[in-house]
Chains A and B, each alone.
Chain A
Amino acid sequence: MLERMQILICGGTGCLSSHSKEIRNEFDKILTEMNLKEEVGLVMTGCFGLCEKGPVIIVYPDEIFYSHVHKDDVKDICEEHILKGRPLDRLIVRDPVDKQKVKNFSELKFYSKQRRIALRNCGNINPLDINEYIAKDGYLALGQVLTTMTPLQTIEEMKKSGLRGRGGGGFPTGLKWEFASKSIDPQKYVICNADEGDPGAFMDRAVLEGDPHSVIEAMAICGYAIGANQGYVYVRAEYPVAVERLNYAIDQAKSLNLIGKNIFNSGFDFDLEIRLGAGAFVCGEETALMASIEGNRGMPRLKPPFPAVKGLWGHPTNVNNVETFANVPVIYLKGADWFKSIGTTKSSGTKVFALGGKIANTGLLEVPMGTTLREVIYDIGGGIPNKRKFKAVQTGGPSGGCITEESLDTPIDFDNLIALGSMMGSGGMIVMDEDNCMVDVARFYLDFTVDESCGKCTPCREGTRRMLDILNKICAGDGTLEDLDTLESLGNMIKDTSLCGLGQTAPNPVLSTLKHFREEYVQHVVDKVCKAGVCPALTNYVILDKCIGCTKCSKNCPVNAISGSVKQKHTIDLSICIRCGACKKACPVNAISSKPEDWSHEIHG
């Protein structure tokens, strides 16, 4: 029997961790009890992108979008909506921008401004059912390429499309394929780089979890183009759901002979295996990644020779990122010209961004290249919550830099972001507001790269460590103006002399904050003040006259630094205070301030 309704439940990692699996099981149980099991379909999909609202479900054919669903709501949804056809008003998502209830999810501004190519199937199909992928023209591109195109034509089409590597570098994919195809060797390899390591970036995970077949199909196409019949997906073991679904998808594709021997009767063989990484950031660098697949310690080596000439086990290898691969099948289905018509002249297509930090709609989104940062942050992201002021946006994760208010109208593409002193990176986008201390932000990223440096080359191993020492000193209030100059020269030196991309980009967060927020650094070293109230040694908390004496602050203080009687203004003993900010959060009337203009007056005046 055909189903009359389908309930799509988000099975991305974000929603899974807020118990979407339990919600699915509950639906299963209640629909069985109500004898509706046969006519209502339950589908666990990949990430919908609107993680902020999770767990989310969509009920078709009405396209009703429910957010923040709890297990206890399932019964109501079944009784009201599924049985009687009355959508449950209280769970219907509200547009974060205008707070209006949104009946039909395509009305959501979050989605209407997007253009989904790499994420075309995420949240739309069941990743554990190859038939759903096939229904959406899956493997059709592979079939067409294998039966109607030569490898050379395949590469030409890719070059024409202008697709550039989405892992961060932005190298033209067609050229990469061409290099690998020109190397003469009976054994070649295709690798999918799924070692996504940037803090705050999760687009590759979403694709692998939501649409694993698109990557499998694309890798087979790439194998055909360059003459490789073995592929590896290098994915971190920290992505258990992605690994599980990918494994499942590979088995399904094998059982239909969509990968394996003599695919589509074309004589082309392709096999695919997963290799698990231990989650080292440096293994996202292709030579380190290959070393790790070979079973060696994951460390980069000098290039050239490039992987296209001498890669995995000494054989020519092509390495592409997950998102790059996810774009490939569509390019062959709709043509290179169609793909080139999207985006800007030098960067065609779309880009997926993982939006995080101080933003209303935390989540995953995909926009055409050339969309401005302002559109992404305000129109799709819904702006900064709690009426705070925008300060900067960090793109490209630990390798990128900060972009300030003045540059928000720059169209996003590979070259524009580099010109702004940042980079595309894998597409992490962290929004910061006035409560973020930029010195602390730079320190956070540097702390990450110091941890992740493999230690092979001195500039990266020792240099980043020294930079971190200086930043720690500044945050502790012991910095000098000279330190800022040292930071700058050290940073530039590390960029110039490091072996691989990790070291070459590690100083970027520091250098870009030094460029755009130098006055904040100067306040830290000269005035010994952290305006944002983040660095504990440079912050003081005071209670203002509007205190109503509710005693909440003193009850919340972990070190009993606050004294005062009921209905009287309280005071903080700064010699005991550890600057944790718990009192500020607890105060119902905003009477506790960490602003320097308040406390310098209290203390000195």
Chain B
Amino acid sequence: MKSLEDLKILRDQAKKTMEMRYLSGGIRIQIGMATCGIAAGARPVLNRFLEEVATHKLNNIVITQVGCMGECAFEPIVEIVENDGTKTVYAKVSERMVSEIVEEHLIAGHRLERYTLGSIKR
């Protein structure tokens, strides 16, 4: 170890892999992963979220899987729960949509109305 700066760089890298153990608050991305969700392709979607969040170096985000949300016909369903409790439910999410959701919703903060469960159902 040559300097304090070197150590701090190493620390910040290492922190990322452990972040989920010390999160408080933050955004939760919940992916429906019951049998229906998995069959509809929720797993690649989840993996894509993990990759996108990592490449954009986003902090304070938990990506987790949840059980069936009841709307099995619209799986894969992704729910984004924000700090203040606002929820957005995206339906029939494909891998392609994930990068859009991350860039538009998570980074820019615009909800993508056209992908939400409400508009898709209509």
Q: Which A residues have a C-beta under 8 Å from some C-beta of B?
A: 1-6, 8, 39, 41, 60-62, 83-86, 124-125, 131-132, 134-140, 143-144, 147, 256-258, 263-265
**Which of B1, B34, B51, B62 has most A Cβ within 10 Å?**
B1
Assess the B33–A84 pair: CB atoms within 8 A: yes
A2, A8, A41, A147: which contacts B4 (Cβ < 8 A)? A147
A283 to B47, CA, bound (A): 54
On B, residues with C-beta under 8 Å from A are 1-4, 7-8, 10-11, 13-18, 20-21, 23, 33-35, 38, 46-47, 50-51, 53-54, 62-67
| Given A83-B33, A85-B66, A134-B10, A39:B20 Cβ within 8 A | no
B62 to chain A: which residues have CB within 8 Å?
61
B-side contacts of A62, CB under 8 Å: 64
The complex places the Cα of A217 from the Cα of B65 at a distance, in Å, of 39
Measured between beta carbons, the chain B residues less than 8 angstroms from A138 are 11
Q: Which 9 A-B pairs have the closest CB atoms?
A: A135-B14, A131-B14, A85-B65, A61-B20, A135-B15, A143-B4, A2-B54, A85-B66, A61-B62
Beyond A2-B53, A134-B11, is A125–B64 a contact (Cβ under 8 Å)?
no
Which of B4, B23, B38 interacts with A264 by CB under 8 Å?
B4
**A131 CB contact (under 8 Å) in B3, B10, B66:** B10
Please list 22 pairs of residues, one from A and one from B, whose beta carbons are closer than 8 Å in the complex, sorted by A's number. Answer: A1-B50, A3-B17, A5-B20, A6-B18, A60-B20, A61-B20, A83-B38, A84-B65, A85-B65, A85-B66, A131-B10, A131-B17, A132-B18, A135-B11, A135-B14, A135-B17, A135-B18, A140-B7, A140-B11, A143-B3, A147-B3, A265-B3
B7 to A143, Cβ gap below 8 A? yes
Interface contact A264-B2, CB-CB below 8 Å? yes
Closest-CB distance, B30 to chain A (whole angstroms): 8
Give the distance to chain A from B65, nearest Cβ to Cβ, in Å: 4
Contact status B67-A61, CB under 8 Å: no
Extra 17 A-B pairs, beta carbons < 8 Å, given A2-B50, A84-B65, A140-B11: A1-B50, A1-B51, A1-B54, A2-B16, A3-B20, A4-B64, A61-B62, A85-B65, A131-B10, A131-B14, A134-B14, A135-B11, A135-B14, A136-B18, A139-B7, A147-B3, A264-B4
Residues on the A chain within 8 Å of B11, using CB: 134-135, 137-138, 140
- Contact call A125/B18, Cβ cutoff below 8 A: yes
Q: How many Å lie between the Cα of A4 and that of B17 in the bound state?
A: 10
For residue A256, which residues in chain B have a CB less than 8 angstroms away from its CB? Answer: 1, 10
Report the nearest A residue to B35, measured CB to CB.
A84
Contact A85 B47 (CB under 8 A): no
Contact of A4 among B1, B18, B34, B63 (CB under 8 A): B63
Establish whether residues A4 and B3, one from each chain, have CB atoms under 8 Å apart when the complex forms. Answer: no
A265 neighbours in B (Cβ, 8 Å): 2-3
Q: Are A2 and B21 in contact (CB under 8 A)?
A: no
A1, A84, A263: the one within 8 Å of B34 (CB): A84
B1 touching A264, Cβ below 8 Å: yes
CA distance A264 to B5 in the complex (A): 10
The complex places the Cα of A578 from the Cα of B14 at a distance, in Å, of 62
Q: Which residue of B lies closest to A258 (CB)?
A: B1
How many angstroms between the C-alpha atoms of A483 and B14 in the bound complex?
64
Residues of chain A within 8 A of B20, CB atoms compared? 3, 5-6, 60-61
User: How far does the alpha carbon of A182 sit from the alpha carbon of B28 in the complex, in Å?
Assistant: 56
Residue numbers in B under 8 Å from A84 (CB-CB): 33-35, 65, 67
- Nearest Cβ distance between residue B76 and chain A, in whole angstroms? 13
Contacts known (A85-B33, A264-B1, A265-B3); A124 close to B21, Cβ less than 8 A: yes
Q: How far is the CB of A57 from chain B (nearest CB, A)?
A: 13
Q: B17 — which chain A residues lie within 8 A by C-beta?
A: 2-3, 41, 131-132, 135
Which chain A residues lie closer than 8 Å to B21 at the CB level? 6, 8, 60-61, 124
Interchain nearest-CB distance for B90 vs A (Å):
17
- Our pick among B7, B8, B46, B67 for the contact of A86 (Cβ within 8 Å) is B67
Taking CB atoms, residues of chain A closer than 8 Å to B23 are 61
Tell me whether A39 and B50 are in contact (CB under 8 A). Answer: yes
CA–CA, A258 and B65, complex, Å: 39
Interface centre among A4, A136, A256 (most CB of B within 10 A): A4
Cα separation A85 to B7 with both chains bound (whole Å): 36
CA A1 – CA B1 in complex, angstroms? 27
Q: How distant is the Cα of A135 from the Cα of B10 in the complex, in angstroms?
A: 8
Q: Which residue of B lies closest to A138 (CB)?
A: B11
Q: What distance in Å separates the Cβ of B58 from its nearest Cβ neighbour in chain A?
A: 10
| Minimal Cβ-Cβ distance residue in A for B55 | A2
Which residue in chain A gives the minimum CB-CB distance to B5? A143
For B7, the closest partner residue in chain A by CB is A143
Contact partners of A61 in chain B: CB under 8 A = 20-21, 23, 62, 64
